[in-house]
Structure 1
Amino acid sequence: MQDDLATNAIKWTREYGEIYRTRTGTTDWIWLNSGEAIKEIIDRKSAIYFSRLLNSMGFEAASGGKRVVFMPRGKQWRTIRGIIHKLLTPKAAKSYAPIQSFEAKQLSVDLLDTPQDFYMHNRRYTASLILQITYGRRLPKFECDEIQKIFDVLIRFGQIRRPGQWLVDSFPSLANFPPFDLVSNWRQFGKECHLKDSKVWMEFWKQICAEIEAGTAPHSFGKGFVNSNWAEKGLDELQAAYVLGTMIEAGSETTSVQLNNTLVGILSRGQVLKAAHEELDRVVGSSRTPTFDDEPNLPYIRAMVKEVNRWRFVNKFGTNHYATEDGWYKGYFIPKGAVVMINIWGLQYDPKRFPEPEKYEPMRYYNHKLSAAESVAAADPNLRDHWSYGGGRRICPGMHVAERSLFLNIARLMWGFDVTHAKDENGIDIPVDATFGGMVPGATAAPRPFKCNIRVRSPKHEKVLRKEWIDGQAEGLKLEDISFEGAEEDMKA
């Protein structure tokens, strides 16, 4: 299906209903298209469906068995998942507010100074945030070696994980058939990716180890992790470096993709900007910027966050769940060895629940009171806001941090700026493609680079934003005041 996935997934859901099967190579794919099916199969029977299909390219060749996202269930997966979970709990996510606020202040001023570079400003924000959490290092400029290395890893990651790209993933037995290596460079390419990625993550790891030895390491989750008993948990040094590297991979692109998708949504629906301005002017006013404390009183901004996660989702192809036992659902047989997919496109483009689903329309969620985490935990699957974070034991552990970053930055963008179409040389609006064709090819639902005008709403708004950043720089960001939930003392438990 490759880049026709969205169109086909929606079409087949409407044709075949709650559950259907496809086949790729020797593998059966079971597609779940209702909240009820997901709640019953992925959530309630997660012990059967939380493993991963063995991925010869992504997991073995290109990750050396180190990437947790591809890792099948087992002791090592549970160990690493437990480490990552402590870093990303709701309590931990709230403790990162000073970092998020500091980086958001720079993002606002970056948009004031060079608004045409919004695409990269959003990327800098997300990369700097996750690197500070993991290693205590800021990235004040997008044009730096660290960001280049991180995004080079992400480019390679996208190449190895795209469904249908590698024949060996459709026919796993080819991985053990030596003649196949004579006609395909998959193994060589994968190993080259692994060597390059390992070099990047080991450079970060070795640097913080040296800083710890010298007594200069900044306060961070990584510092606590290095000082913990990671070796006693059965991890070698490269795996430990991949634990932190995996979090950087997951956190460096996700929020920026959704911030840029939000801009596309705003440009496609003119009334969104007006409604957001009205709410922020009424609740916050023009003398200060919105904060996390304003969230309960900003239902439209909250709705914008939920709607962008429904309308677009970072992982275009969703996540697979491998069936380790035979199972049944409403008389439908799910064989052991099948891949069970949450069909996000089919679910979130269901016109019965989301009328005109192709439109970015925050009002769908205006009265939705539950957070993403609360809706995941709700017994009633109809209360689930969206499925972009997955489900079961493989649900995205970073959703608490991501939701808070999206809320804060969308609120600040809407508070301080007008977002309009860029003009061509004749003064005509330059259109922005809000269809599926406007997404980049591959595994990420990021918008293709586009142009728009981002302009501050008034001199008063600009003054507030600039003063806030000046004051923030003068005060500085004190990482030592932040409690990293998964740091050394917690990991020894």
Structure 2
Amino acid sequence: MFLRGIKSGGVFNPAYTYLGFPGFFVIASVLATLGLTFYRLWFEDKRLRHLPPKVPGPPIINQTFYHMQDDLATNAIKWTSEYGEIYRTRTGTTDWIWLNSGEAVKEIIDRKSSIYSSRLLNPMGFEAASGGRRVVFMPRGKQWRTIRGIIHKLLTPKAAKSYAPIQVFEAKQLSVDLLDSPQDFYMHNRRYTASLILQITYGRRLPKFECDEIRKIFEVLVRFGQIRRPGQWLVDSFPSLANFPPFDLVSNWRQFGKECHLKDSKIWMEFWTQMCQEIEAGTAPHSFGKGFVNSNWAEKGLDELQAAYVLGTMIEAGSETTSVQLNNTLVGILSRGQEVMKAAHEELDRVVGSSRTPTFDDEKNLPYIRAMVKEVNRWRFVNKFGTNHYATEDGWYKGYFIPKGAVVMINIWGLQYDPKRFPEPEKYEPMRYYNHKLSAAESVSAANPNLRDHWCYGGGRRICPGMHVAERSLFLNIARLMWGFDVYHAKDENGVEIPVDATFGGMIPGATAAPQPFKCDIRVRTPQHEKILRQEWMDAQAEGLKLEDINFEGAEEDVKA
């Protein structure tokens, strides 16, 4: 029995999926073999005695179920306080090494990225449900390096700046959407993010949330959420079960995964095929995708479906991330009463004034708005469970042995909720970063790990390539929100404030740290602010968004090189 993705209150939520969990009698022989192997290695390989301290758990199962729970964040923080800089959990037959200091992340993930940039074998996530094509699950190798190079060149800092006209145009619509139907802010933020990434990849705008393109994208995201959660699938915890025929008799994981892959492939190929047809007809909009279709992707060893998945992967990664953080920012603002809102208003009124809206050029003079961006990325981060780094060689750190085949995790919760560095870490407090001068990318590159602002974009060769675009979108839209609007708690019919859950319990179940749908009262600050917001959107519509003026060519030339 399993639950499929559901749509609740207009919001798609990834549902937990448990397929045919077998009795232990089915896998007893496999576990016995693995147990004997571990026993032999323990006594023959003395290095295993130097593994990081292990979180206690029941035999065989260990922390498999802890990784499945939605209170993993609470456990990750608790275990960090108990075990310190590095500790170990175990799911199935795999050791998970959790890094809980900036120094450990810098030394292991960044400086030794050639060892720690692969991925754990996921029979369900990578093989069955992705057909071996999703780069997020792809092990390190030639194919991964090729695709990673294509994606990174699309999302370099220089490329990210070239997308400013799209971001500004979409932000202007977002502001007017908030004027016209502020109660639908959750979906307005989602429309902004999906429209931005679809224009970059395929040159297609999404002026309304209720459209066929967004429906298809979120269908994929629901399925993606079902397959990616650590511990969700027994076969991913015990990969040897994928080659154990009796397991398929009691679990339909393989069939379900293949169904997901077929449905996702159909959608990504529809986008790809339409682009190819438009190119042939001479009507294709200017976009990165157009240049990519015309590039030598086949000579790089990609087939057509893999090429479609390259663009589809970017849509998957970019369609929710910024909207999740914009909605989390609203939760953070509400959690502080009017304190954050008033501080933002003061800065924007002083620096920008009331006769124009803030722009990217104002960023250097708006330290509080920049701090709001950094703080929401510390306080919440889109990928609730982080990303795994698979050790392809044995390694050591401060006397601890990290064996080949272990999963090394940046413990984002432990790092970003460390009370020694972030007092009252559960509190949304932008002032933590008021004097932080480095951008997210500059923080990642800093030699001193203590200068890292947060770890929500990961690290090493698996760092999120879209962080430059995401940071700019967050700055622009938070600045515009705080410039033009007041944000208050909504009230019920009796005039009583409706609370918003700013705790971990306020996040939707699953792999994404998105807030549960909530209500808030968004009001324009003054008639003057409304007049300016409406006029600039009218002007933008009259002028139109000229994609041909956007410099996709640099990225296209990089792909062809």
1:297 aligns with 2:365: yes
Structure 1 pair 473/312, CA: closer, same or farther in 2 (3 Å)? Answer: same
How far apart are 1:394 and its partner, in Å? 0.3
Q: Distance in 1 between matches of 2:504 and 2:71?
A: 9
Structure 1 pair 177/486, CA: closer, same or farther in 2 (3 Å)? Answer: farther
Q: Distance in 2 between matches of 1:468 and 1:63?
A: 43
Do the aligned partners of 1:36 and 1:381 also contact (CA within 8 Å) in 2?
A: yes
Q: Distance in 2 between matches of 1:11 and 1:182?
A: 39
Q: Distance in 1 between matches of 2:544 and 2:301?
A: 38
**Which stretches in structure 1 are left out of the alignment for 5+ residues?**
none
Do the aligned partners of 2:176 and 2:533 also contact (CA within 8 Å) in 1?
A: yes
1:11 aligns with 2:78: yes
1:348 aligns with 2:416: yes
Do the aligned partners of 1:262 and 1:308 also contact (CA within 8 Å) in 2?
A: yes
State the TM-score, normalized to the length of structure 2: 0.87
User: What is the CA RMSD across the aligned residues, in angstroms?
Assistant: 0.7
Do the aligned partners of 2:159 and 2:555 also contact (CA within 8 Å) in 1?
A: no
Secondary structure at 1:46 match in 2: coil
Q: Deviations over 1:226-259 (max 9, x none)?
A: 0000000000000000000000000000000000
Q: Distance in 1 between matches of 2:233 and 2:410?
A: 22
Q: Distance in 2 between matches of 1:385 and 1:489?
A: 33
Secondary structure at 2:90 match in 1: strand
Task: Quote the residue 1:116 is aligned against.
Answer: 183
Structure 1 pair 485/170, CA: closer, same or farther in 2 (3 Å)? Answer: farther
**Which stretches in structure 2 are left out of the alignment for 5+ residues?**
1-67
Superposition misfits of 4+ residues, deviation over 6 angstroms: none
Do the aligned partners of 2:443 and 2:453 also contact (CA within 8 Å) in 1?
A: yes
How far apart are 1:404 and its partner, in Å? 0.1
Which of 377, 392, 405 is matched with 1:309 structurally? 377
Q: Deviations over 1:197-230 (max 9, x none)?
A: 0000000000000000000000000000000000
How far apart are 1:287 and its partner, in Å? 0.7
Q: Deviations over 1:331-356 (max 9, x none)?
A: 00000000000000000000000000
Task: Quote the residue 1:369 is aligned against.
Answer: 437
Task: Quote the residue 1:62 is aligned against.
Answer: 129
Structure 1 pair 139/214, CA: closer, same or farther in 2 (3 Å)? Answer: same
Q: Deviations over 1:261-320 (max 9, x none)?
A: 000000001240000000000000111100000000000000000000000000000010
How far apart are 1:487 and its partner, in Å? 4.0
How far apart are 1:491 and its partner, in Å? 1.6
Do the aligned partners of 1:22 and 1:28 also contact (CA within 8 Å) in 2?
A: yes
Q: Distance in 1 between matches of 2:559 and 2:99?
A: 36
Q: Deviations over 1:163-204 (max 9, x none)?
A: 111100100001111111111111111111100100000000
Kindly name which structure, 1 or 2, has the bigger radius of gyration based on alpha carbons.
2
% same residue = 93
Task: Quote the residue 1:2 is aligned against.
Answer: 69
How far apart are 1:399 and its partner, in Å? 0.1
Do the aligned partners of 1:254 and 1:314 also contact (CA within 8 Å) in 2?
A: yes
Q: Deviations over 1:411-459 (max 9, x none)?
A: 0000000000000111110000000000000000000000000010000
Which of 261, 271, 281 is matched with 1:204 structurally? 271
Structure 1 pair 486/326, CA: closer, same or farther in 2 (3 Å)? Answer: farther
Q: Deviations over 1:92-139 (max 9, x none)?
A: 000000000000000000000000000000000000000000000000
Q: Distance in 1 between matches of 2:260 and 2:551?
A: 35
How far apart are 1:485 and its partner, in Å? 5.3
Structure 1 pair 197/274, CA: closer, same or farther in 2 (3 Å)? Answer: same
Do the aligned partners of 2:485 and 2:523 also contact (CA within 8 Å) in 1?
A: yes
Q: Distance in 1 between matches of 2:525 and 2:256?
A: 49
Which of 255, 276, 279 is matched with 1:188 structurally? 255
Q: Distance in 2 between matches of 1:138 and 1:279?
A: 33
Do the aligned partners of 2:291 and 2:553 also contact (CA within 8 Å) in 1?
A: no
1:36 aligns with 2:36: no
Do the aligned partners of 2:95 and 2:407 also contact (CA within 8 Å) in 1?
A: yes
Secondary structure at 1:206 match in 2: helix
Do the aligned partners of 2:91 and 2:237 also contact (CA within 8 Å) in 1?
A: yes
Do the aligned partners of 2:373 and 2:474 also contact (CA within 8 Å) in 1?
A: yes
Q: Distance in 2 between matches of 1:62 and 1:412?
A: 40
Q: Distance in 2 between matches of 1:2 and 1:77?
A: 30
How far apart are 1:488 and its partner, in Å? 3.4
How far apart are 1:486 and its partner, in Å? 5.5
How far apart are 1:492 and its partner, in Å? 1.7
How far apart are 1:75 and its partner, in Å? 0.3
Structure 1 pair 251/485, CA: closer, same or farther in 2 (3 Å)? Answer: farther
How far apart are 1:4 and its partner, in Å? 1.4
How far apart are 1:2 and its partner, in Å? 2.3
State the TM-score, normalized to the length of structure 1: 0.99
Secondary structure at 1:49 match in 2: coil
Do the aligned partners of 1:273 and 1:418 also contact (CA within 8 Å) in 2?
A: yes
Q: Distance in 2 between matches of 1:454 and 1:491?
A: 43
Q: Distance in 2 between matches of 1:385 and 1:403?
A: 13
Q: Distance in 1 between matches of 2:368 and 2:130?
A: 41
1:320 aligns with 2:367: no
Do the aligned partners of 1:135 and 1:222 also contact (CA within 8 Å) in 2?
A: yes
Secondary structure at 2:115 match in 1: helix
Q: Deviations over 1:376-401 (max 9, x none)?
A: 00000000000000000000000000
Q: Distance in 1 between matches of 2:250 and 2:184?
A: 43
How far apart are 1:489 and its partner, in Å? 2.5
How far apart are 1:484 and its partner, in Å? 1.4
Q: Distance in 1 between matches of 2:320 and 2:69?
A: 21
Q: Distance in 1 between matches of 2:100 and 2:270?
A: 43
Task: Quote the residue 1:260 is aligned against.
Answer: 327
Q: Distance in 1 between matches of 2:454 and 2:557?
A: 35
Do the aligned partners of 2:133 and 2:309 also contact (CA within 8 Å) in 1?
A: yes
Q: Distance in 2 between matches of 1:311 and 1:489?
A: 38
1:447 aligns with 2:526: no
Structure 1 pair 337/486, CA: closer, same or farther in 2 (3 Å)? Answer: farther
Q: Distance in 1 between matches of 2:86 and 2:447?
A: 21
Do the aligned partners of 1:300 and 1:363 also contact (CA within 8 Å) in 2?
A: yes
Structure 1 pair 486/48, CA: closer, same or farther in 2 (3 Å)? Answer: farther
Task: Quote the residue 1:278 is aligned against.
Answer: 346
Do the aligned partners of 1:221 and 1:486 also contact (CA within 8 Å) in 2?
A: no
Q: Distance in 1 between matches of 2:281 and 2:182?
A: 40
